[in-house]
Chain A
């Protein structure tokens, strides 16, 4: 139960769709979504495969709780070998698509091969077919979603699609569902584009059954009470969203600024949650129109925003005089602090374009920041940028580039390489602020030491969502630790990584963990699913999943030396704030982490560890 027990296998080369039974032995070991799809991927592809080859596969996967009445249970993930990184990729999205997929009767959809021409997959309650996407190829995610709904005459279809960026091979293209939710990181949209797959449209009404309905309802109700009564999930996130962090992290001296040249941004408050709530001079309305919730979510952290109609980006473009997905913290940081830009309207517009054209705003903004440093130091000039004065703080440069990158044109196509390849191309690889090819999110690891270890060891490249020690080091959740010390961080990172792997495999949102511990989560999984999903068994599954991902990366060619940070963070001390004079102490933390994981000094899981985690 909870699992639909069915997979849809789509062979794009042959144009076939076939159902097959879910491997329930694997489900008992890897739970669902991130873990279970990773198991399928590792069994079915060569880890050394070119991510953009037809031999790579892409899996859309739900968790056992997806589509149930558990809070936030609308999640799905896209698992593949990442185009940006060459590592295991698992990008998680909210909205309503995941729920629809589960209710259509599928735990996961495995895409293999490459279609000879652009197609989209149409799924309705257990039946599936590939349809011609010629009308949508070359169109944005927004146009595609609206067009497919109109064609089928069903406004309740849920659509996940790529924009032109994914078609053109922008390395950090994402998959956008429900207009402004995205499987955002690692270039999963690039892989989708390489398969000539434009979109997946789903309608599902079959329902989701659980193992012990009575116990499940009680566990879900208890969980929802915890979320409602918690000050963060009950009040802070709905009112201010993730953007409330902008001033917190800046004050803490850990807001990477201008490609990590600085760790504090003097324009932070202008692009914060507080600024989004301020009435504007031109129309008296704030940037933030309202909050919004994904399927089944009782937190509702989402932002819905508008761009001021007098702003240069939209004054002659009424199609953008709409309310749409607003800035989340990571996007606001990448588009703003990482580039030195504090124009809230420009950032909101750039965020709209990222949603419209399917760009990961973190990698896009961070890569623009790197390009700005290349420009400022004279490595590139207007000759390379096509005339764009690419200086830190230039909103015009950012908003020009987001449209170019979204269409894979001009210097925007070079931004679309990602910072690693871009900086290598111009002979300055040290200016890419990335790990395993993926750009950092919004926390400077000189000021939050544990995050340096979390970034260095993240299986999908630099990422905050694989081990969010910010919760403990800065926010005091579940308990406060000192962000400026390395002591204890190896164990902290491991605990966050393993627990997050469980959450990502269950079908729920990681934001629940600001209030929920595994003591709240495990009973919901245990009541929904067959088998013994005690806290201990859930955490064991989390550790197993982490090691499985690690093993894939090692087999793909990554080595312990790739668990590293850019020299800037290891050698150039922070200039201001609490971390002034500090670098990241990765050299201290990494050996402790390998030991805590039961890995060799080279970062390879030992045979004893593989036995212990049943791999």
Chain B
């Protein structure tokens, strides 16, 4: 199945080469969980602060059980703030 990965701020360094403007489509197996995607991109887990699936926050404790579906958008930021 195909998911879209969106990595921002300093995490953009971990995007696949095919990425355009912080986004890339990734082919993943059915049943893939959030943490598997982050690991496959070799992302530093301590920097994956804000993890959203379709805009909804996934808590750290849920990242190795939250399965992804075809068409899901997985967006990740390090600790950031503004205002």
Contact = CB atoms under 8 A, between A and B. Distances in A.
A304 interface: no
Given A231-B49, A244-B8, A468 B83 contact: yes
B34 to A, nearest CB: 15
Contact of A247 (B10, B22, B56, B59): B22
B52 interface: yes
A240 B9 contact: yes
A251 B83 contact: no
A241 interface: yes
Contacts of B80: 232, 236-237, 240, 244-245, 248, 475
Contacts of B82: 237, 241-245, 301, 328-329
Contact of A248 (B56, B73, B77): B77
A243 B77 CA distance: 13
A470 B80 CA distance: 12
Interface string A460-503: 00001100101100111100101000000000000000000000
B30 to A, nearest CB: 24
A230 B78 CA distance: 12
B75 interface: yes
A577 interface: yes
A365 to B, nearest CB: 16
Given A269-B21, A274-B12, A511-B83, A236 B55 contact: no
Given A232-B80, A239-B10, A253 B55 contact: yes
The bracket for how many chain A residues form the interface is: 35 or more
Among A235, A251, A464, residue most surrounded by chain B Cβ atoms (within 10 Å): A251
B17 interface: no
B13 to A, nearest CB: 12
B7 to A, nearest CB: 10
A385 interface: no
A514 interface: yes
A231 B12 contact: no
Interface string A338-374: 0000000000000000000000000000000000000
B50 A475 contact: yes
A251 B55 contact: yes
A237 B82 CA distance: 7
Contacts of B83: 242, 245, 329-330, 464-465, 468, 470-471, 510-511
A394 to B, nearest CB: 23
Interface of B: 6, 8-10, 12, 21-22, 47, 49-50, 52, 54-57, 59, 73, 75, 77-83
Interface of A: 230-232, 235-237, 239-245, 247-248, 251-253, 269, 273-275, 301, 328-330, 464-465, 468, 470-471, 474-477, 480, 482, 510-511, 514, 577-578
Cβ-closest 7 pairs across A and B: A242-B82, A231-B79, A245-B82, A578-B55, A236-B80, A244-B80, A514-B81
